[in-house]
Structure 1
Amino acid sequence: MLETLRKIVQEVSAAPDLDTVLDLIVRRIQRAMRTQMCSVYLFDAKKQRYTLMATQGLNKESVRMVSLSPSEGIVGLVGARAEPINLEDAASHPAFIYLQGTGEERFHSFLGVPIIHQRDVLGVLVVQQKERRRFDENEEAFLVTVSAQLAGVIAHAEATGSIHAISGNHERVAESRFEGVPAASGVAIGTGVVKAPPADLNAVPDRVATDIDAEIAQFNRALAAVRRDIRVVGRSLAKRLRHEEQELFDVYLRMLDDNALAGEVVERIRRGSWAQGALRDVVKAHVREFNAMDDPYLRERATDIRDLGRRVLAYMQEASPSQIEYPDSTILVADELTPAMLGEVPTDKLAGLVSVHGAGNSHAAILARSMGIPTVMGVVDLPYTQLDGRTLILDGYSGRVFVNPSDEVATAYEEIVREDREVAAGLEQLRDKPAETTDGFRMPLWVNTGLIADVERSLERGAEGIGLYRTEIPFMVKDFFPSEQEQTQTYREQLEAFAPRPVTMRTLDIGGDKALPYFPISEENPFLGWRGIRVTLDHPEIFLVQVRAMLRAAEGLDNLRIMLPMVTSVHEVDEANRMIDRAVRELREEGLITDRPPVGVMVEVPAAVYQVRRFARRVDFISVGSNDLTQYLLAVDRNNPRVAGLYAPYHPSVLRALEYIAKEAHKESVPVSICGEMAADPGGAILLMAMGYDVLSMNATNLPKVKSAIRGISYARAGELLDRIHRMDDAEDIHMLLRNTLQELGLGQLTRPVIPD
């Protein structure tokens, strides 16, 4: 059964569209279970009906013609209960409804299981037989397992199938919505431009050929180059291979004949596809055919087809490097965004970023936030290769991406864009004013940075210091560890630009989802693995060089603060302190006039929460990384779109931990700051101020909003708000109270806009 399931999932995963997926499902399940009928009903959310979408055993003319409401029939009952129903005689069940014209009157036994994806019932999978009998436990277990395995594939196929290729007359197609992880706030409305990695057939975007003859010529040149390569390799290995092994190269050449792959590609080009897209479609079709074969030797030929396709594609891309014309309001779309991709788009045309994979704190996401570019990551079901030239709306507040948006949705988001611009323009006047409450309480606002470009943006918005400088970013953009001199120069630019304001430099924080290409860390669970201070203490040569570079960069400025990430024990703090002291001594011996800078720790894991006072006796300041702390407290990876909805910064346990940290630090008379995303939210900033945090640090884009919120409330009112929240036990209710409070204060424009579902 496992082998049968593997083959079904493999075939279905490679299917090009939803209809093919469903047809494969019913045929393969009917054969595997030896039933006389297998059907799939999918739920249409707009029509609120279960529609027969594919069948093997019922009348084929009933497909798409027969449907049931959620309250009708046994199919509706399976969906409503979200559990299997196994009947000896379906017709005798009270919920049974006869579907005329389907031919179902021949069947008696019934087994239906729901198809569920992320709590949503997508449809119902049904098998039936003529004889009266209950399907046994093994059969029911198999169908439930198949349904669970196929749910994600069907969801993805539904999403892909909802974006149809633009027809010749550019007819309007239906709106589609996809969910991801918000990585940089804001809204972007623009045109999709797909960036594909080289020689990756799966990443080739859909495009229409503008010059068919030129596309065919380009393909033929690439084909000739690959044929030449195969002949050269075959001749060079001739003396080492047996005759039958040499014949493999002849097989490759025959695959590229005009009567095989080449002819099919040219035919697709003549039908209007550009050469790379035609090659992709032909190769994938042949791979599907070989993968479906029972013979292991023939199945392996799928690998050969893929290899040949990549070789031809590489030559096409090399001969015709992509000269993309970026439209105004470009929304860059990729399977996985990289910083280099951002640099290829003129900054005046880049409106937004969408990535199928990637994390909210990836290098690209950090860069996007610092540049103020709305970004959504982890849109796993997005058929991104079909989005080139499409009208897109990107909601960086909620993590939604709309393709072919309706007029109503477009109008709503255009209003949000207009309001965001008005708010930004109105907040510019606050640049040189303090973040001071209406009753005179002063709240220092600092920024999080990682690039020198962040500095100018931060100063323009009135930042009073840097609460987090991510030193790993200069490490990420190189092919090797930067030298002490290179690091000194980089750090000096940050320190000089902000002097005399304080600059808090976090020591190298790699691991988790932040890997260096030249220092790979491969772990099954990287977020609970070798990361942060654990890495640098295990590599004192890296730690000492970095600390020395920081100290040298701060000479004569005296605005450096050093912060240790991912600390879990006092032993780590003591060891790091000893190494910092050593670096200070060494530099003094070398003639550098330097004082030991303030040293602090980041509280990011639950273990650190309950050692704050112990840490405070050993350091000069405490800083909370609320992003990591929240995900560790809630056991939720905020970069995983499947559970991102469970990531709740205003969860009562998170708020209680944050308040506890502030109180414990102050018991030792040590200042405490926070540099997570909660500090960048106007409502969150008010709460943190009431908890007693001494400094709030955030991205530069949100600083004016936070300043406006603090200037619009009294410290006493903030304390009353915190008291009310102490009595609440639901994160969403707390978030709504914060929104409503800002509305009452006349600060509703600072809250995240909400677009109704």
Structure 2
Amino acid sequence: MEKFAGKSIFRKVAIGKIFFYEKNTAVVKRTKIEDAKTELDRFEHAKETAKAQLQNLYEKALQEVGDSGAAIFEVHMMMIDDLDYNGSIQNMIESQSVNAEYAVAMTGDNFSTMFAEMDDDYMKARAADVKDISERLVSVLSGVDNDMGNLDEPVILVADDLAPSETVQMDKSKLLAFVTEHGSSNSHTAILARTMNIPAIIGVPIKKEWHGHMAIVDGYAGCVIIDPDEEEIEKAQKAVAEEEEKQKLLKALKGEKTITKDGKEIHLYANIGSVADTAAVLMNDAEGIGLFRSEFLYLESDTYPTENEQFNAYKTVAENMAGKKVIIRTLDIGADKQVDYFELDKEENPALGYRAIRICLTRQEVFKTQLRALLRASAYGNISIMFPMIIAVDEVRKIKQILKEVKDELREQGIPFKDVEIGVMIETPAAVMVSEQLAQEVDFFSIGTNDLTQYTLAIDRQNPKLDEFYDAHHPAVLKLIQMTIENGHKGGAWVGICGELGADLELTETFLRMGVDELSVSPTFVLPIRNRVRSLDLSQES
């Protein structure tokens, strides 16, 4: 038995087998082969294995996001059989007497470069597809199998680190806990752990040989126990049972109002990152969706999602919520959420760089495609649109002009839509300072406390070395939140909080006394927050 300490992200306990996840780091070496036929057979077998993997991913995506979201895997299955692509690989194996891994890697590089240099945008987008299928084939040929879709039992996921684009593709029903060596308590992986209500530990010196071993992840003690003894297992099982009992008691709050003892009622919504997360919103009895992070549609794709792909995703969520409010945040790419096909330049300080609304206002074709999809979907439910990373009133006016142009286009084409409510994220000190003026331009504010804290404290929330300096309860942050609520109300906008602080039970009373109208939290926090609100009496002195 070994015990390793780290930093806890979510206070809960999990018991299970470890799955060691590592990115495809197969080193492709050029090897001279004697039998070309044997190598060609290896390549053909790898193709069939890769297509089977893609078929599984397609079927999973079909259930979670529908036809449009699953289409990319169909494209990849077809590209694996492309005659020119296959011909190049086969010719290289036969004429140069090289191993299949090398032939696939070189062909992938050549075709990817060729597509990327074309003038046609559609063909340019195929560069990423060729790269993806080539990496998949090399993984199969090299015996590297880290496909999270192939898990046959729930596991504790151990990894060096996880990017947002990796976490969104995982089968969340098969994850018991996260353990990583790197990462921050404010990273998207940490947010995902809290969303899924599973324990997560960061800063653990991981070992590859743990793969397949039993382990306990103790989110209370902030440690991982490898090959635990009977006593530790019994203690962990008791903690799991106590947690389940607590959850049963919270479920009794389903259907109840989120209202204090003295009659102060607030709206309690949930944050989601995919269409599939809607089930968790309904299961946890949220009143609506306060933040749909639409950028995950882009992170999950190898090219720009089409208008119809986005429309189908938004429409599905709106219909599933059956008239309950669905606030969808427009594209928030950049900073820690990088997407290759956007071809963003490397920046010295990406958190302060070209991201979110700044991309949308300068790449209006991308922005208008999303706005068209959102407005079309509004005809099928109660959708509101929210814009991130606002720093000036002029930005909002530009957005409203673009939105008007899109509405005019839809009217001309006879496409139905509703006159949706619009709002902005308050996540910069600049936005707070002009919040009274901003409120006169929009219907609502949603305070993004993650970035607001980062920019107020001048601390990179992704840097684990700064965790000891990162104080989400800092008086300056709380004063800015108070100012936003007061100015929003003065200007006629309702004000909510959708950042991680919204789920901080220590601050629930503070936020209610500030006058917040809405809290939007990870689905698993809805009932604990409701329980906390219902225990408060704001007529009493705090």
Please state which band the TM-score falls in when normalised by the shorter chain. 0.7 to 0.9
- For residues 147-158 of structure 1, the aligned pairs below 5 Å read none
AA aligned opposite 1:374 = P
**Counterparts of 1:316 and 1:453, CA distance in 2:** 28
**Counterparts of 2:506 and 2:146, CA distance in 1:** 45
Residue aligned with 2:260, SS: coil
- Aligned residue in 1 for 2:16: 190
Q: 1:651 to 1:365 in 2, by over 3 A?
A: closer
Verify the 8 A CA contact 2:160 2:206 in the aligned structure 1: no
Residue aligned with 2:431, SS: helix
**Does 2:383 correspond to 1:560?**
yes
TM-superposition CA deviations, 1:57-110 (whole Å, max 9, x none): xxxxxxxxxxxxxxxxxxxxxxxxxxxxxxxxxxxxxxxxxxxxxxxxxxxxxx
**Does 2:31 correspond to 1:226?**
yes
5+ residue gaps in structure 1? 1-171, 202-221, 232-313, 722-757
**Does 2:178 correspond to 1:353?**
yes
CA offset at residue 433 of structure 1?
A: 0.7
Q: 1:627 to 1:636 in 2, by over 3 A?
A: same
- Aligned residue in 1 for 2:529: 706
Verify the 8 A CA contact 1:435 1:707 in the aligned structure 2: yes
CA offset at residue 682 of structure 1?
A: 2.1
Determine which structure has more spread, i.e. the larger CA radius of gyration.
1
TM-superposition CA deviations, 1:231-288 (whole Å, max 9, x none): 9xxxxxxxxxxxxxxxxxxxxxxxxxxxxxxxxxxxxxxxxxxxxxxxxxxxxxxxxx
Q: 1:551 to 1:345 in 2, by over 3 A?
A: closer
**Bigger relative CO (Cα 8 Å, ≥ 6 apart):** 2
1:582 to 387, 405, 411: 405
- Aligned residue in 2 for 1:373: 198
- For residues 77-116 of structure 1, the aligned pairs below 5 Å read none
- Aligned residue in 2 for 1:178: 6
AA aligned opposite 1:716 = S
**Counterparts of 2:515 and 2:172, CA distance in 1:** 43
Query: With structure 2 as the length reference, what TM-score do the two structures score?
Result: 0.73
AA aligned opposite 1:536 = C
AA aligned opposite 2:23 = P
- Aligned residue in 2 for 1:737: none
**Does 2:473 correspond to 1:645?**
no
- Aligned residue in 1 for 2:329: 506
- Aligned residue in 1 for 2:271: 448
CA offset at residue 226 of structure 1?
A: 2.8
CA offset at residue 411 of structure 1?
A: 6.4
1:539 to 354, 363, 374: 363
- Aligned residue in 2 for 1:119: none
- Aligned residue in 1 for 2:159: 334
CA offset at residue 450 of structure 1?
A: 1.6
**Counterparts of 1:692 and 1:315, CA distance in 2:** 56
**Counterparts of 2:282 and 2:349, CA distance in 1:** 38
2:396 to 549, 557, 573: 573
TM-superposition CA deviations, 1:23-71 (whole Å, max 9, x none): xxxxxxxxxxxxxxxxxxxxxxxxxxxxxxxxxxxxxxxxxxxxxxxxx
Q: 1:346 to 1:700 in 2, by over 3 A?
A: closer
**Counterparts of 1:499 and 1:361, CA distance in 2:** 32
Residue aligned with 1:505, SS: strand
Residue aligned with 1:175, SS: strand
- Aligned residue in 2 for 1:481: 304
**Counterparts of 1:453 and 1:608, CA distance in 2:** 32
Equivalent pairs, count? 439
Residue aligned with 2:386, SS: strand
**Counterparts of 2:167 and 2:507, CA distance in 1:** 33
TM-superposition CA deviations, 1:94-137 (whole Å, max 9, x none): xxxxxxxxxxxxxxxxxxxxxxxxxxxxxxxxxxxxxxxxxxxx
Residue aligned with 1:574, SS: helix
CA offset at residue 498 of structure 1?
A: 1.2
Residue aligned with 1:383, SS: coil
AA aligned opposite 2:475 = P
5+ residue gaps in structure 2? 37-136
Verify the 8 A CA contact 2:390 2:424 in the aligned structure 1: yes
CA offset at residue 685 of structure 1?
A: 2.1
1:609 to 432, 437, 441: 432
Verify the 8 A CA contact 2:201 2:219 in the aligned structure 1: yes
Verify the 8 A CA contact 1:198 1:317 in the aligned structure 2: no
Residue aligned with 1:518, SS: helix
**Counterparts of 2:409 and 2:146, CA distance in 1:** 53
CA offset at residue 694 of structure 1?
A: 0.3
**Does 2:347 correspond to 1:523?**
yes
Q: 1:368 to 1:574 in 2, by over 3 A?
A: same
AA aligned opposite 1:453 = A
CA offset at residue 439 of structure 1?
A: 1.8
**Counterparts of 1:326 and 1:580, CA distance in 2:** 44
Verify the 8 A CA contact 1:178 1:402 in the aligned structure 2: no
AA aligned opposite 1:176 = F
